[in-house]
Amino acid sequence: MKICCIGAGYVGGPTMAMIAKKCPDHQITVVDINQARIDAWNSSELPVYEPGLDEIVQSCRGRNLFFSTDVDQAIREAKIIFVSVNTPTKSYGVGAGRAADLRYLELCARRIAETANGDKIVVEKSTLPVRTAESLKRVLHANSKGHHFEILSNPEFLAEGTAVTDLENPDRVLIGGDDTPGGHAAVAALSEIYASWVPRERILTTNLWSSELTKLVSNALLAQRISSVNSISALCEATGADIDEVTNAAGKDSRIGPRFLKASVGFGGSCFQKDILNLVYLCGHYGLDAVADYWESVVRINDWQKDRFVHRMIQTMFNTVAGKRIALLGFAFKKDTNDTRESAAIRVTTALIAEQAEVVIYDPKVTEAEMLRDLNNAPIRVARDAYEALNGAHALAILTEWDEFRSLDYRRIYESMKKPAFIFDGRNILDHAALRALGFEVHAIGKTSAKTL
Ligand code: UDX
Ligand code: UDX
C-alpha cells in the first residue's frame, strides 16, 4: 500500500521513518512545501536530530521511504494520507494567542480534495482542537468530485529526544474514527499498519472527538504536573525544604508515580503551552470559564517560574547584571534535541539582555542562526564549547539538562571565572555539594542557597 504524509517536521519525519522500517511492504512518501527541509531529509544532515533516527532513515530511504516536494503526486498515489502540518497558536484576529491556527490544515484538505483521484483515508496527525475533524470532513466532502474520504484522528504522543524509542515501543496508539461501516474499515486499515509492531491491546480505538481531546488532555496533565512541582519549588526555596527530596518521596506513592516531577526553569516545547491554550480556548468557547481559568494557570505558573529564575539571578548578583558576562549552558527546550520552540532559554536570555547583561550561550546542538532567530537578533555571543563560554564569566546558568554539562571540569571552570563564581542550576543536574567545595556559590531550583562566604 502507498502512504503519504504531508508535513516533514519533528512529528511527520520520524513517525513515517518508523512505519517504513516496520512495514517494508508499504511505500511511504513524506512531502513538504519547504524545499530546504526536503533536501535536508534527503541528505546526510537530517533536519531533525533524534538519537537513532539517522540509522533508520539511511536504511529505508530510497527503498520504501521517500522525501519529496511533489505534494500532488504523493496525494494521488496514496491510499492513506497523514496530515502532520504545523498548527501554531493563532497570532492574529479572533482567538489570537490562544486558538490554533488551522489555515495550513485547511489548505491541505483543499489540496487533497482537488488532487485526489480515488477514495482516501485522511489521518489527522497534527494536534488539533476538538471537532477539527468535522471541519476537515466538510471541506473534503464539499470539494470531493465524487470521491469518498474517511477521516481518522491518530494523535502522536512521541516526545522529542526519545522519538525513536517512543515510536518503537509506544504506551498506546490511539485511533479515533466515525461509528459507521466506512469509519470502522478505515480504523481497521490503520490499526493493521501499527499492529506490525505494536501489541494489539495497546492500540486503542475511540470516536473522533475522544481521540482529539485525549491528545490535548494528555499534554495538559503532563504540563500540569510540572507547573505543580515548580510552584512548590518556590515554597521550598522559602522554607528550607528540598524539592528533589519532596518529589522523590511523593513520587514513591504508586498513585502519583515518579515521572514528570522534575522541577525546572520552566517547560518548553512546541506542544505543552500551545495545547493548553487550545484547551483554554475550547473551554471558553463552551462557557466553561472556571475550567478555562484552571488550565490557564498552568501556563501562568510556567511563565512565572522563568521570570523568577532571572530575578533570583539578578538579586543574587548584587542586584545588577549590567555589563556582566553570563554564560548560559543549553538553549534547546530539553536535552537531546535541537528544537528551541518555546524554550525557557528564550525568555531568560531576553530578560538578561534587557538588564544589559553580556550573554554568552553554548548549546551542543542548537545553531547560532537558530538562536538569533529566536531572539530577534538580540546581541548575544555564541561559544563553541562550555569552557569558552565560561572564560571570564561572572555566572553560569544551566538552562538545558544536557548530559555533558554534568561532567565538565568544574575546577578549570572555577579558575577561569570571576569571583564570586555563581552557578544557577535551572535543571538541578549538578553535584551542588562538590561545586561548593570547589568554591562556587550555587543556587538551584527549589533549594535554599547555602552561601560560601
Ligand atoms: C506539528 C505541530 O506542531 C504539532 O502540534 C502536530 O502534532 C504535528 O505537526 P512538528 O512536526 O513538530 O509538529 O511541526 P513542524 O516541524 O513545524 O513541521 C510541520 C511541517 O509541515 C513543516 O515542515 C512545514 O513546512 C510543513 N507544511 C506546513 C507543509 O508541508 N504544508 C503546509 O501547508 C504547511
Ligand atoms: C510532549 C509530550 O511528552 C509528548 O507526549 C507529546 O507528544 C508532545 O509534547 P515534548 O514536548 O517533546 O513532548 O517533551 P517532554 O519530554 O514532554 O518535555 C516538555 C518540557 O517539559 C521540556 O521543556 C522539559 O524539559 C520539561 N520537563 C519535563 C520538566 O521541566 N520537568 C519534567 O519532569 C519533565
pLDDT score recorded for residue 452: 40
Q: Is the pLDDT of residue 453 over 70?
A: no
Q: How is residue 236 written as a grid cell?
A: 521550598
User: Relative to the CA of 262, which ligand 2 atom is closest?
Assistant: 33
pTM of the model: 0.91
Question: CB-side exposure of 124: number of CA atoms within 13 Å?
Answer: 33
How far apart, in whole angstroms, are the C-alpha atoms of residue 21 and residue 44? 18
Taking the CA atoms of residue 123, residue 129, residue 134 and residue 139 in that order, the dihedral angle to the nearest 10 degrees is -80
Closest C-alpha residue for ligand 2 atom 20: 267
Q: Write out residues with Cβ below 6 Å of ligand 2.
A: 156-160, 219, 222, 226, 260-262, 264, 267-269, 271-272, 333-334
Say whether 108 is catalytic.
Answer: no
Average pLDDT, integer, range 136-157: 91
Closest ligand 1 atom, CA of 48?
Answer: 16
Ligand 2 center–CA 51 separation, angstroms = 16
Q: Is the pLDDT of residue 166 over 50?
A: yes
Confidence of residue 450 (pLDDT cuts 50, 70, 90): low
Q: Is the pLDDT of residue 74 over 60?
A: yes
Peptide bond into 379 cis (omega under 30): no
- Band (pLDDT 50/70/90 cuts) for residue 5 is very high
- Distance in Å, CA 101 to ligand 2 centroid: 22
Q: CA 125, 130, 131, 132: dihedral to nearest 10 degrees?
A: -40
Which pLDDT value is given to residue 377? 95
What is the pLDDT of the chain when averaged over all its residues?
A: 94
Q: What is the pLDDT of residue 136?
A: 85
In contact, 151 and 109? CB cutoff 8 Å: no
Asked whether the predicted pLDDT for residue 119 surpasses 60, the reply is: yes
Tell me: the pLDDT tens digits for 380-405?
A: 999 999 999 999 999 999 999 999 99
Distance CA 371, CA 330 (A): 11
The one-character DSSP state at 403 is G
**Kind and range of the H or E element at 236?**
helix 208-239
Q: Which helix (H) or strand (E) segment is 174 a member of? A: strand 173-177
9-38 CB burial, b ≥16 within 10 A, e <16: bbbbbbbbbbbbbbbeebbbbbbbbeeebb
**Is the CB–ligand 1 distance for residue 85 below 6 Å?**
yes
Question: Are the beta carbons of 235 and 241 closer than 8 angstroms?
Answer: yes
- Alpha carbon 146 to its chain centroid, in Å, reads 39
Using alpha carbons, select from 370, 332, 23 the residue that is nearest to residue 197.
Answer: 23
Give the Cα separation of 12 and 32 in Å (integer).
Answer: 10
Q: How many Cα atoms are found within 13 Å in the side-chain-facing hemisphere of 412? A: 9
Q: What number of other Cβ atoms are within 10 A of residue 207's Cβ?
A: 15
Q: Does the Cβ of 15 fall within 6 Å of ligand 1?
A: no
pLDDT in tens, 206-219: 999 999 999 999 99
